[in-house]
Amino acid sequence: MLPSRLLLLLLVVTVVLTLLAEVGDAQRRRRRRRRRRQREGGLGLRREGGVADGRSVRKIRHAKGRRAEFVRRRLANARRRRVEGRVRLVDGRAEWEGNVQIWHAGNWGNICDDEWDEREGEIVCRQLGFPGLKKVTYSGLYGRAKDRYWMDNLFCYGTEKNLTECNFDGWGQHDCEGEEAAGVVCNSHFAATPSTPTLPPRDQPILINKTKLAFILEGKLTLRLVGGRTPQEGRVEVLLPEEDQWGLVCGDGWSLLEAMVVCRQLGYGYAQTAVSTGFFGGNISDVVVSGVKCTGNERLLEHCLHDDLGKVFCPHQEHDANIAGVTCVSKIADLVPDHMELARSAHLEDKQLFFLSCAMEENCLATSAKAAMDSGYGWHLDTRRLLRFTARIINQGDDAFRPFLPKQYWVWHACHMHYHSMEVFAHYDIIDSQGNRVAEGHKASFCLEDNNCLPDVTPFFKCANYGDQGISPGCTDTYAYNIDCQWVDITDLKPGTYTFKLSINPEFKVGEKSFDNNAALCELIYGHQNAWLGNCTLARP
């Protein structure tokens, strides 16, 4: 076809399309004018007491029905949005305190206290309309979890409006017992909001209204284990002075620290597990001691703190009694961090976010890293300053250290290409002179294996190929400084002198001979271009 004919054809098509568009616009204008006249006519008839024709009335009613249905749908969607992720406090003495529950999929569920700290607590109090957070609580302080667990290993940056915006293992995925419910105490509207440190402390809340058992008893407290498969396990029964009848200990808040004292007092060695259950038998009505709290170093249970004695209240579930029990063993692990290797290996590294995708997935960076990523273009060029170090863990006990989770509950990690058997095995913290945490490490998952052993010890545990995990006695598990997340992000830290703290088995979930050597405390001197770590000592997490 000749160019002139093609140009003429295009011109004709353009004119036809323009005419069609103008016709369409004219029709739409006429329809709008007609609807406007009908509305004005209907309004005039109502004002004059007249009646519009049936067709106009039907149109008006149809329009009203559509608007009403639209409003109903919007309100229903809004109600659904408000319900999902709602939180409430239960079993507290007032409306501003209690265990935290969250609404999901039409049911209320609890939140596990793993990784629970003040950032999550602030979000809860903010959601409930309180002016701030007073403190967070652990270990089912307001009673055992009565319903399912919806959230575990919850990690928030503190800027979220709802807990559902935070990172967690997934709805209903958890490894928590009934006594691990997380709670809060919010500031009431009649109290001023206290200032908070830069980062929330990891320590347990201060115990109040507790006294030593020895101060109340007029004599010696006698113990025994009953209902177990061997004499070294069972429910804990106590005989109060001036009583012919044995009583039980409430399992609310019962942990390995209390179990260690029981096993020591009975001469059965070390505490392997501490349970709060009716598995070993017993009647909840026979509970005579509640709220027992020990440091784990007491020689006798009567040297520990308690809430009530005699006829006491012990929260429990209908299908399972909340009775304290223990399992004692003669041999057990004892982990110690190598503080000399920690000091020797510490150094600084600057790295761009582009190379830290796996670290972001495991929350191994500071809050400002997420803000940089959300800022948009050029986020991958943001540089983070990392304090890297090697964590070498020695098992100097006489039995293997094994993860408390069964193998089927281990989590596959695609970045590291192996299964993680413990979600919380170590904490890395930097603390200022006021005792506030100003930076932290978020190494949430670990793979336990025998890296180096004494000459007469054969390595047994290996992470590869879904192998058994643990640390054999006489062996070390080494996390070298070049491993992902083996650092603390100090990008926002000002130069100065601080305390560096590395804590192993910080939540006391696996039994050991002693927890007094599970942390390394070191002096950290941080300059603009270098960092020095030294003067390390061993302590309790």
Which pLDDT score, from 0 to 100, does residue 502 have? 95
Confidence at residue 301, expressed as pLDDT on a 0 to 100 scale: 93
Mean pLDDT lowest among 194-198, 331-335, 421-425: 194-198
User: pLDDT tens, 288-310?
Assistant: 998 899 999 999 999 998 888 88
Two tokens, residue 428: 């890395």
Which residues, in sequence order, are CB contacts of 485 under 8 Å at separation 6+? 358, 359, 362, 364, 441, 442, 443
pLDDT of 46 > 50? The answer is no
Q: What is the pLDDT of residue 356?
A: 87
Instruction: Say how far apart CA 282 and CA 293 lie, in whole Å.
Output: 21
Are the C-beta atoms of 305 and 293 separated by less than 8 Å?
yes
Q: 149-151 and 107-111: which strand pairing?
A: parallel
Q: What is the pLDDT of residue 411?
A: 77
Which helix (H) or strand (E) segment holds residue 360: the answer is: helix 357-361
Residues sharing a CB contact under 8 Å with residue 373, sequence separation 6 or more, in sequence order = 353, 360, 379, 382
HSE of 245, CA atoms in CB hemisphere, 13 A: 6
Q: What's the pTM? A: 0.65
Q: Are 422 and 413 in contact (CB under 8 A)?
A: no
pLDDT, tens digit (0-9, with 9 covering 90-100), for 248-264: 999 888 999 999 999 99
Quick one: 398 exposed, middle or buried, by C-beta within 10 A (0-12, 13-18, 19+)?
middle
pLDDT band at 22 (very low <50, low <70, confident <90, very high): confident
Report the alpha-carbon distance of residue 8 to residue 42 in Å, rounded.
52
Query: Buried b / exposed e across 8-38, counting CB within 10 Å, b at 16+?
Result: eeeeeeeeeeeeeeeeeeeeeeeeeeeeeeb
When computed from its CA atoms, the radius of gyration of the chain, rounded to whole angstroms, is: 32
What's the CA gap between 322 and 254, in Å, rounded? 10
Q: Which one has a higher pLDDT value, 389 or 73?
A: 389
**Residue whose C-alpha is closest to residue 472's, from 448, 506, 455, 508:** 448
Question: According to the model, what pLDDT value does residue 487 have?
Answer: 93
Neighbouring-strand partners of residue 188: none
Evaluate whether 373 touches 353 at the Cβ level (below 8 Å).
yes
Give the whole-number percent of the chain exceeding pLDDT 90. 41
Report pLDDT for 8: 77
Question: Which of residues 153 and 452 earns the better pLDDT score?
Answer: 452
Q: What is the largest CA-CA distance in the chain?
A: 119
Please state which of the ranges 7-11, 17-21, 65-69 shows the lowest mean pLDDT.
65-69
Q: 157-180: per-residue pLDDT in tens?
A: 888 889 998 888 889 888 888 888
* Bridge partner residues of 287 (DSSP): 248
Check pLDDT > 70 for residue 236.
yes
Three-state SS at 491: coil
Q: Which two tokens stand for residue 374?
A: 């959300």
Q: Is 343 helix (H, G, I), strand (E, B) or coil?
A: helix
Alpha helices, H only, 191-334: 213-216, 256-266
- Residue 194, pLDDT score: 40
Does 77 have pLDDT greater than 90? no
d(CA 21, CA 33): 19
Identify the pLDDT of residue 425.
Answer: 86
For the segment 461-470, what is each residue's pLDDT rounded down to a tens digit?
998 878 889 9
Give the pLDDT confidence of 387-423 residue by residue, as tens digits: 999 999 999 999 999 988 888 878 777 776 767 777 7
What was the pLDDT predicted at 208?
A: 55
d(C-alpha 292, C-alpha 307), whole Å: 7
In this prediction, residue 483 carries a pLDDT of 87
pLDDT bracket for residue 1 (50, 70, 90)? low
Between 15 and 345, the higher pLDDT residue: 345
Residue of higher predicted confidence among 289 and 144: 289
Structure tokens at 205: 């809340």
CB-count exposure of residue 378 (10 Å: 0-12, 13-18, 19+): exposed
Write the secondary structure of 529-540 as one string of H (helix), E (strand) and C (coil).
CCEEEEEEEEEC
Average pLDDT, the chain: 83
